Amino acid sequence: MTNTELLVALIAVAVVVLGGGAALLVRRGRGELPPPRDLDAITEEYIEHPEHPEPHLPSEDEEPPFEEVPADEKDQPTAPTTTVERPEPAQGRLVRLRARLARSNSSLGRGLLAVLGRADLDDAAWEELEDTLLAADVGVGPTTELVDRLRTRVRVEGITDPEAARRALREELVALVDPTLDRSLALQGPEGTPGVVLVVGVNGTGKTTTVGRLARVLVAEDRTVVLGAADTFRAAAADQLSTWGQRVGVDVVRGPEGGDPASVGFDTVKQGLETGADVVVIDTAGRLHTKAGLMDELGKVKRVAEKQAPVTEVLLVIDATTGQNGLRQAQVFGEVVKVTGVVLTKLDGTAKGGIVVAVQRELGVPVKYVGLGEGADDLAPFDAEEFVDALLA
């Protein structure tokens, strides 16, 4: 291309460009196009709404950004994942448990009241009354005593009205259960030491569950508690007790599986002393009362634990459904460790409520707690009048 041709081409391009610009000016003047935007507005819009933002890379002299932590949130412990429960007061359970006891044991009350409500109480009627009491595991001695006293009252007082007979039966049953017995737990050791509660019983009576429920009762009374899993021969027992403890925020001392139960009892009382706990509760292995060696070991647990602080309470857990066999258990345990109180479990599933009387007569110690139902708070302090009222409801 010659110089003349190049010059012509450049002039043509300039004409096209100038003509296009003139056309744009004419259209903008007519309002057909928006006014031009300045560079600052375009830059600001890009920063706020970038279509393809690029990550900001700090320079070597620039410190990386960080989020300031509020002062009140610094060095705070992580919140526990398990929610600690607040058990209901034991006294608040009595109405509910009494209603349950009334439903399960009403056959005993109905049987007694049906006999006493008869117009003619002959010898056959009194024998039927005795049979009803014996079937409820009241025991031969207490049954004979109760029937003799009732016969005397009916004859002397001339009782013929069913309601009067019911009142007489209630009074005699309450006297038989003996409301004068001290059913409180000894929860204070000498010289400020914690109360030490040893819980004993054969396999299957609900002993570990009772320990867990008792811990809930004590926590509801604002007492600090330490539990000891001295049933080292059954790993599930220690795990179960640990679960009970976690639910109410109670420490549980446990040893190696198959380890020395007496050592666990010793360590539990020691921790109770060191932490200033109010009560120490030790769960022991379910001892078969026919095995002398195991019973001797139970005595060892008590002796070793008392090297730290005296045992203030020995609770014997008895399954109410075992009936007279529970009396034999009570006898043997009473020979090995001095039992101070009885806990009757599974009382909701039996009409044999008379075991309360029989056990107390056999051991000479009171029933202090009763277990009814499967709930975590289905353990209540035993009350003689409440119990009799439930039987007769």
Q: How far apart are CA 125 and CA 269, in angstroms?
A: 55
Confidence of residue 143 (pLDDT cuts 50, 70, 90): very high
Contact between 254 and 238 under an 8 Å Cβ cutoff? The reply is yes
Residue 267 domain-assigned (yes or no): yes
Of the three residues 177, 212, 236, the one that is the final residue of a domain is 177
pLDDT at res. 242:
94
pLDDT tens-place string over residues 317-337: 998 887 777 778 788 888 888
Residue 58 resides in a domain: no
| Helical spans, DSSP H, in the chain | 3-29, 39-48, 94-116, 123-135, 140-157, 162-177, 207-220, 235-248, 261-275, 292-305, 324-336, 355-363, 384-392
Q: Is residue 75 helix, strand or coil? A: coil
Q: Is residue 78 part of a domain?
A: no
- Binding positions for GTP are 201-208, 283-287, 345-348
Q: Supply 2's token pair.
A: 């010659």
Residues 145 and 265 in one domain: no
Q: In terms of domains, do 165 and 285 share one?
A: no
The per-residue pLDDT for 29 is 55
User: Each residue of 26-77: pLDDT tens digit?
Assistant: 455 555 545 555 545 544 444 444 444 444 444 445 444 444 444 544 444 4
Q: Strands 225-229, 251-254: parallel, antiparallel or unpaired by DSSP? A: parallel
Given a contact cutoff of 8 angstroms between Cβ atoms, the answer to whether 199 and 315 are in contact is: yes
Instruction: Let me know whether 199 and 299 are in one domain.
Output: yes
Average pLDDT over residues 296-323: 91
Identity of residue 24: L
| Last residue of one domain, picked from the residues 125, 152, 177 | 177
pLDDT exceeds cutoff 50 at 78: no
Q: Quote the pLDDT of residue 319.
A: 87
CATH number at residue 315: 3.40.50.300
Q: Which of 177, 202, 234 is the last residue of a domain?
A: 177
**Same domain assignment for residues 117 and 254:** no
Q: Mean pLDDT across the stretch 285-313?
A: 85
Could you tell me what percent of the chain has a pLDDT over 70?
Answer: 72
Whether residues 138 and 267 fall in one domain: no
Q: Which domain holds residue 139?
A: 90-177
Task: Please determine, for residue 200, whether its predicted confidence score (pLDDT) is greater than 90.
Answer: yes
Neighbours of 74 (CB within 10 A): 7
The distance from CA 44 to its chain's CA centroid, rounded to whole angstroms, is 64
In a domain, 38, yes or no: no
Query: Mean pLDDT of all residues in the chain?
Result: 79
Is there a single domain that holds both residue 328 and residue 273? yes
Residue 47 in domain = no
262 token code pair: 């007496």
Nearest to 157 by CA among 172, 146, 148, 168: 168
Examine the domain organization and report whether 232 and 374 are in the same domain.
yes
Please compute the mean of the pLDDT values over residues 80-86 and round it to a whole number.
68
User: Does the residue 32 lie in any domain?
Assistant: no
Both tokens of 146, joined, read 């109760």
Same domain? For 171 and 198 the reply is: no
Looking at the structure, do residues 123 and 100 belong to the same domain, yes or no?
yes
- Tell me if 17 is assigned to some domain: no
- Token match 């190049």: residue? 6
Same structural domain for residues 350 and 236? Answer: yes
> Is the domain of 272 the same as that of 372?
yes
pLDDT at residue 23, rounded to an integer: 54
Summarize the annotated binding site as residue ranges.
Answer: 201-208, 283-287, 345-348
Is the pLDDT higher at 217 or at 97?
217
Kindly state whether residues 197 and 168 are assigned to the same domain: no
Of the listed ranges 38-47, 128-137, 162-171, 308-317, the one predicted with least confidence = 38-47
Edge-to-edge order in the sheet of strand 225-229: 251-254, 225-229, 279-283, 195-200, 313-319, 341-345, 367-371, 379-381
Q: d(Cα 172, Cα 95) in Å, to the nearest integer? A: 23
Per-residue pLDDT tens over the stretch 3-34? 666 665 666 655 555 555 555 444 555 555 45
Q: Is residue 257 domain-resident? A: yes
Residues 71, 72, 73, 77, CA torsion sign: positive
- Mean of the pLDDT values across residues 342-364? 80
Q: Give residue 192's pLDDT.
A: 84
Tokens of 48: 């706020």
pLDDT at 55: 47
Measured in whole angstroms, the distance separating CA 59 from the mean position of its chain's CA atoms is 60
C-alpha distances out from residue 51 to 37, 42, 46, 177, 266, Å: 19, 13, 8, 88, 73
Checking if the pLDDT of 351 tops 80, the result is no
Q: How many domains does the chain have?
A: 2
